[in-house]
């Protein structure tokens, strides 16, 4: 057993309102620079949709991630042989137009315009060439556009859905969508690290954050291809690749990353996970249907004395182990079994987990007779000649999951490598907690029934309340359990504190002159 610690995250999709505050917080801090304008280390996508960059999930196009070869895995579009032979021209790399051409508006034209007959306009100009341009794409161009032929219907996850299922999904009455916020997954088996010919990308041992050393990156661009989530970006101005750094300067100082801190819906949770690094290769090369179970198995119980002992042997601080024991991520992922990784089939062992959305509300449309009701309407009331009812009653709660407006298979393609049972169980748990709370607070469901549904999904009343608390009422410190990075350790990462002891300020960037010879 080789226990390491990893900063891991859970996104509770039921709570995401798609406001893009996370994206903007990230952009303001990290990517509001020349060459990085088009980068969104954090972005929010509407699903079903093609995402950013367009169709990023389609590895037939981009060749990202790993693929299984016998009992081993190989990088799909990079690696030693493919990477070095394609080093001059990388055939599977997305270009700027696959993301979008960054733009701004000539706002000054509004102010400096002479008095004219027409309203002055601020023309869009390219942030690359500075010349006027027609905007064709943006980072969230498909925002809220479910059902559209260009975006929603081109979603890669619809691949193995029958044409009838797809049609049903996009009927006007049934149309639905949800939001998928994405950042770098800080994988345990990162394809970007493995693909980098220069060895510029590395995973930090202490907290598992994946970083690109800007001084070593030589713009061979293989990470852009290799990352199946397309979360490694090429800065066209500096000629270096960049990616989400999980706000490590903030984490080291005990703050939550900017995207998480600013989250309006409070959907994000962050905490430490202890995992067994010895198993990484075996699990990444497991069969597709066992991938997720095995990945969950390698995440260790932080209360297990054996795990604690092994962690200490590896130099993991007591404070980190304590943080792991309080980790909301461990609760959601392991203890309660509510969260799943995104696209586990890419075999990078992503460490960002999603609680799949139950929304849009489980409901069925039933025919009812409205005539009695309509008679009561006054003369000036608007009369609706409909006779259907949007039925949200919980009479047949498990049945409505099967008839969910977003098919279970679609969710499974996103979150469980195609395994519908896995997603269904998690959605049933969400439903069971809702019924349990309805019994407690509204009371129109019998206790017997509430107990029965919890039993069906293997939860107790106490756990259900705990999940409810962490979902709906949790305070900042419950959602973000950041291990004390120890200010003294943060400084040690930058310099050997003994060397600058006695010097003022922050020390010298370059060596000072030495006395003597």
Partner 1 sequence: MNSLSDFLFIAYPYIAVSIFFVGAIWRYKSNSFKYSSLSSQFLEGKTVFWGIVPFHFGILILFLGHLFVFLFPGKVLEWNSDPMRLILHEGIGFTFGVSALLGLTVLFVRRITNERLQMVTNRMDIVIEAVLLLQILLGCWVALGYRWGSSWFAADLSPYLWSLVKLNPSIDAVSAMPVVIKLHIIGAFTILLLIPFTRLVHFLVAPFHYMWRRYQVVMWNWDKDRVRNPRTAWQSTRPKNN
Applying CB under 8 A, the residues found at the interface with partner 1 are: 79-80, 83-84, 87-91, 93, 95-96, 128-131, 189-190, 193-194, 196-199, 201-206, 213-221, 224, 234, 236-240, 280, 313-317, 489, 492-496, 498
Cβ-based nearer residue to partner 1, 273 or 338:
273
476 SS3 class: helix
- Name the residue nearer to partner 1 (CB basis): 98 or 143: 98
> Looking at 213-360, which runs of residues are DSSP E strands?
232-235, 240-243, 268-276, 299-300, 340-341, 352-355
To 10 degrees, the CA torsion angle through 390, 394, 395, 398? Answer: 110
Q: Which is nearer to partner 1, 237 or 455 (CB)?
A: 237
Say what angle helices 461-468 and 420-441 make with each other, to 10 degrees. 90
Work out how close the CB of 19 gets to partner 1 at its nearest, in angstroms, rounded to a whole number: 30
Q: Cβ distance 435 to 456 under 8 Å?
A: no
Q: Cβ 498 to partner 1, closest distance in Å?
A: 5
The three-state secondary structure class of 134 is: coil
| Residue 427: φ, ψ to 5° | -70, -35
Looking at the Cβ atoms of 94 and 181, the one nearer to partner 1 is 94
**In the complex, least distance from residue 258 CB atom to partner 1, rounded to whole angstroms:** 22
Query: Rounded to whole angstroms, how far apart are CA atoms 422 and 338?
Result: 10
Tell the smallest beta-carbon distance from residue 23 to partner 1 (Å).
21
Name the residue with tokens 């039925």: 391
Map tokens 């800007």 to a residue.
214
As measured in angstroms, the least distance from the Cβ of 502 to partner 1 is 14
Q: Would you say 238 or 374 has its CB closer to partner 1?
A: 238
For residues 447, 452, 457 and 462, what is the CA-based torsion angle, rounded to 10 degrees? 40
Q: Which two tokens stand for residue 154?
A: 């081109």
Confirm if 178 and 411 have CB atoms less than 8 A apart.
no
Q: Looking at beta carbons only, is 12 or 92 nearer to partner 1? A: 92
Q: What separation in angstroms does the CA of 182 have from each of 46, 215, 319? A: 11, 27, 29
Q: Which of 289, 246, 243 is nearest to 39 (CA)?
A: 243
**C-beta closer to partner 1: residue 193 or 260:** 193
Burial 191-202 (b: 16+ CB within 10 A, else e): bbbbbbbeebbe
Residue whose pair of structure tokens reads 């679609």 in the numeric block: 410
Residues near 463 by beta carbon (within 8 Å), at least 6 away in sequence = 336
Give whichever of 205 and 458 is closer to partner 1, judged by the CB atom: 205
Residue 88 Cβ vs partner 1, minimum distance, rounded to whole Å: 4
Q: Which is nearer to partner 1, 144 or 318 (CB)?
A: 318
Minimum CB–partner distance for residue 222 and partner 1 (Å): 9
10 has which bridge partners? 269, 353
How far apart (Å, rounded) are the C-alpha atoms in residues 128 and 100? 11
CB of 290 to partner 1, least distance (A): 21
Q: Residue 213 Cβ, how far from partner 1 at the closest point, in Å? A: 7
Q: For 48-65, what is the HEC assignment?
A: CCCCCCCCCCCHHHHCCC
| Comparison of 290 and 489: residue with beta carbon closer to partner 1 | 489
- Using the minimum distance from each CB to partner 1, give the nearer residue, 281 or 455: 281
Q: At what angle do helices 461-468 and 447-457 cross, to 10 degrees?
A: 80
Least distance CB 345 / partner 1 (angstroms): 19
Q: How far is the CB of 186 from partner 1 (least distance, A)?
A: 12
91/149 with CB nearer partner 1 = 91
* Residue owning tokens 């006054």: 378
**Residue 200: CB minimum distance to partner 1, A:** 9
CB count, 10 Å around CB of 223? 32
């Amino acid at each position: 057993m080789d226990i390491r610690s990893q900063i891991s995250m859970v996104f509770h999709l039921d709570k995401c309102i798609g406001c893009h505050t996370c994206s903007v917080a990230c952009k303001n801090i990290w990517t509001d620079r020349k060459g990085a304008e088009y980068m969104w280390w954090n972005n929010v996508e509407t699903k079903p949709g093609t995402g950013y960059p367009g169709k990023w999930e389609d590895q037939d196009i981009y060749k990202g991630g790993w693929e299984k070869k016998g009992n081993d895995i190989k990088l799909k579009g990079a690696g030693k042989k493919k990477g070095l032979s394609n080093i001059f021209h990388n055939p599977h790399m997305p270009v700027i137009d696959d993301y979008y051409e960054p733009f701004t508006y000539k706002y000054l034209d509004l102010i400096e315009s002479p008095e004219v007959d027409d309203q002055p306009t601020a023309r869009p100009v390219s942030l690359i060439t500075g010349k006027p341009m027609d905007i064709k794409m943006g980072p969230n161009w498909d925002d809220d556009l479910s059902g559209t032929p260009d975006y929603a219907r081109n979603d890669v996850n619809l691949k193995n859905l029958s044409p009838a299922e797809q049609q049903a999904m996009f009927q006007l009455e049934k149309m639905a969508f949800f939001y998928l916020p994405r950042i770098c997954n800080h994988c345990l088996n990162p394809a970007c690290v493995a693909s980098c010919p220069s060895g510029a990308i590395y995973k930090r041992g202490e907290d598992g954050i994946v970083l690109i050393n800007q001084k070593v990156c030589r713009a061979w661009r293989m990470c852009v291809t290799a990352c199946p989530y397309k979360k490694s970006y090429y800065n066209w101005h500096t000629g270096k690749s960049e990616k989400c750094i999980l706000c490590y300067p903030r984490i080291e100082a005990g703050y939550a990353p900017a995207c998480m801190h600013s989250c309006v819906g409070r959907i994000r949770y962050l905490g430490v996970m202890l995992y067994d690094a010895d198993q990484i290769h075996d699990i990444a090369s497991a069969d597709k249907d066992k991938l997720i179970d095995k990945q969950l198995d390698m995440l260790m119980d932080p209360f297990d004395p054996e795990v604690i002992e092994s962690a200490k042997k590896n130099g993991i601080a007591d404070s980190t182990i304590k943080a792991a024991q309080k980790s909301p991520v461990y609760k959601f992922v392991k203890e309660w079994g509510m969260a799943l990784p995104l696209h586990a089939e890419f075999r990078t062992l992503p460490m960002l987990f999603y609680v799949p959305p139950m929304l849009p509300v489980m409901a069925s449309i039933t025919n009812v007779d409205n005539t009695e009701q309509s008679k009561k309407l006054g003369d000036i009331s608007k009369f609706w000649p409909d006779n259907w009812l949007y039925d949200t009653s919980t009479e047949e709660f498990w049945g409505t999951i099967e008839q969910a407006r977003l098919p279970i298979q679609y969710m499974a393609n996103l979150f469980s490598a195609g395994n519908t049972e896995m997603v269904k169980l998690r959605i049933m748990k969400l439903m069971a907690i809702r019924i349990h709370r309805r019994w407690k607070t509204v009371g129109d469901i019998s206790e017997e029934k509430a107990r029965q549904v919890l039993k069906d999904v293997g939860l107790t009343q106490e756990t259900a309340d705990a999940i409810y608390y962490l979902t709906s009422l949790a305070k900042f410190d419950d959602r973000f359990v950041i291990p004390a990075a120890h200010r003294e350790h943060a400084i040690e990462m930058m310099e050997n504190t003994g060397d600058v002891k006695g010097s003022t300020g922050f020390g010298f960037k370059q060596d000072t002159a030495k006395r003597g010879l």
